[in-house]
Structure 1
Amino acid sequence: MNNRLARIGLMSAVLAIVLLPVYWLVSTSLKSNREITQEGTLYPHGPTLDNYIRLFTDKQFGAYLTNSLVVTFFSVTIALLGGTLGAYAIARFRLPFMMERKVGLFLLTLRIVPPVVILIPVYLLMLKLGLLDSWLGLIATYTAFNITFCVWMMECFFREIPVDLEEAAMVDGDSRFGAFRRITLPLAAPGLAATAIFAVLVTFNEFLFALALTATPRAMTMPRGTATLIGRIDTDWASMSAAGVIGALPIVVFALLMQRHLVRGLTMGAVK
């Protein structure tokens, strides 16, 4: 009984620590700036949705959110398509001098380079191509970063799937691509879901390149647009909190939709 109470108490404490920032963000979004900066209340004494309304009527937040959703969708989709095929090739085919074992490490090395190091070259490239302040420029930039991560992640999952399953399908008359599409890819769905979640999180929350490559609401993403709420004299804390709540919703919904793939076994039920 004592152990059970101790576990309940520990879980309650951990849950409170995890949910406290979420509660503070939501409660702050329902307060006025005066209540936030001058009164410092623990909960909104006069809850209001004016902060959310002002975001879409005065702050052009709808355009920022749309830009983030469009750029994230296309960049992650393209990166997953290209990265999945590249990872499968690395995992299944042999290259001279065993280069297939070094490609993944090389791609990972490119991914962990600090973004600020290549910020200026990327900016100059987009300037030369005429892609500044556009969806296409952001999509191309984020796809280039995400595809290396997707290849590195998916290669590990493909190596865990038995080659015998594909060979059995090909013996039955299926093609290499057919075996990949009907056998390997469904078994790699948990890995694909995990990779997609990480790629979406990184892309949707990216700020540095969005700051450098965009300048108007036509292409500003949600993090870049939220930064415009920080003025030289004061900061609109209430609107920033409301923007944080709205910006977190797409990620939460996406994670909930994908979670069932994360708990499935990689090859569960494939071999009987």
Structure 2
Amino acid sequence: MNMRKKIGNILTYIGIACILVIVLFPILWAVTTSLKTGRQAQSIPPVWLFRPSFHNYIAAFVKRNFGRLLVNSLIVSLSATFLSVILGSLAGYALARFQIKGKNLILMWILSIRMFPPIAAIIPFFLLYNKLGLIDTRLGLIIAYTAFNLPFAVWIMQGFFLEVPRELDEAALIDGCSPWRVFFKIVLPLSAPGLVATAIFTLIFSWNEFMFALILSRSRSQTMPVGVM
């Protein structure tokens, strides 16, 4: 019995070790690649033994004005996240609580926008921004990121609001709460996990976004993914 338990423990540890290797290998690969020269990083087969070089870090932190890139990314990502969560919560609450004609059609339309390839909208965005003078501005990136993150926020928050019992809304209204107070004091706090999840995903999407930042920004509003490229 003890032998079987030992074998089971060994197999468990081997499985955990394999999972750790699979999970950590991409991180190790990224770190080692950052310490290679351009030729070493692009060589096939890969160079495993090399002399570490910090030239890439010097270029990113000093030559590329890392501080400005970081500030731009923080302002754009946090602003887009804030707007997406606020607007998504309001729209999601309306779809979850009110009887709206064609609600299912609206939800499918929102979901289809989320699945819409951003590359198909980049040229219209560029032409519109060029007319409005929003090229190379943080505001332009914030609007673009919010537009593409908002459908996701609406869809997620609508699902969380549906889990909050309507009886709580009715009880609060009977006690004299206004509809806005019911939303902010009752429903929204109970949907806090949804708010946090939506904010995290939206922040990640906004921080990692590359294509819009590449096309719609130049030097003043460049974000981290474009600046360190």
Q: Which TM bucket (shorter chain)?
A: 0.7 to 0.9
Cα RMSD after superposing both structures = 2.1
C-alpha distance in structure 1 between counterparts of 2:51 and 2:182, whole Å: 61
Contact 1:91/1:100 (<8 A) preserved: no
Q: Which amino acid aligns with 2:221?
A: A
Indicate which of 93, 96, 100 corresponds to 2:98.
93
Contact 1:84/1:150 (<8 A) preserved: yes
C-alpha distance in structure 2 between counterparts of 1:160 and 1:54, whole Å: 50
Indicate which of 103, 114, 119 corresponds to 1:116.
119
Indicate which of 207, 219, 222 corresponds to 2:221.
219
Contact 1:138/1:210 (<8 A) preserved: yes
Contact 1:35/1:41 (<8 A) preserved: no
Deviation of 1:225 (Å): 1.4
Contact 2:64/2:228 (<8 A) preserved: no
Q: How many residues align?
A: 222
Quote the residue 2:203 is aligned against: 200
Quote the residue 1:40 is aligned against: 47
C-alpha distance in structure 2 between counterparts of 1:34 and 1:148, whole Å: 42
C-alpha distance in structure 1 between counterparts of 2:152 and 2:140, whole Å: 19
Quote the residue 2:15 is aligned against: 10
Quote the residue 2:63 is aligned against: 58
Quote the residue 2:188 is aligned against: 185
C-alpha distance in structure 2 between counterparts of 1:37 and 1:126, whole Å: 36
User: Does the alignment pair 1:154 with 2:157?
Assistant: yes
Quote the residue 1:166 is aligned against: 169
Which digits, 9 at most, give the CA deviation of each residue in 1:76-101, with x for residues without a partner?
111111110010011000123xx222
C-alpha distance in structure 1 between counterparts of 2:36 and 2:61, whole Å: 17
Quote the residue 1:103 is aligned against: 106
Quote the residue 2:89 is aligned against: 84
Deviation of 1:36 (Å): 5.3
Contact 2:95/2:103 (<8 A) preserved: yes
CA 1:20 to 1:100, structure 2 compared with 1: closer, same or farther past 3 Å? same
Deviation of 1:181 (Å): 1.2
Contact 2:60/2:228 (<8 A) preserved: no
Deviation of 1:128 (Å): 0.8
C-alpha distance in structure 2 between counterparts of 1:63 and 1:187, whole Å: 38
C-alpha distance in structure 2 between counterparts of 1:140 and 1:220, whole Å: 15
Which digits, 9 at most, give the CA deviation of each residue in 1:43-69, with x for residues without a partner?
x755x6554343222122322222111
Contact 1:87/1:155 (<8 A) preserved: yes
C-alpha distance in structure 1 between counterparts of 2:144 and 2:89, whole Å: 18
Quote the residue 1:243 is aligned against: none
C-alpha distance in structure 1 between counterparts of 2:73 and 2:94, whole Å: 31
After TM superposition, the runs of 4+ consecutive aligned structure 1 residues lying more than 6 A away are none
CA 1:66 to 1:176, structure 2 compared with 1: closer, same or farther past 3 Å? same
C-alpha distance in structure 2 between counterparts of 1:189 and 1:164, whole Å: 19
Q: Which amino acid aligns with 1:26?
A: V
TM-score (norm 2): 0.88
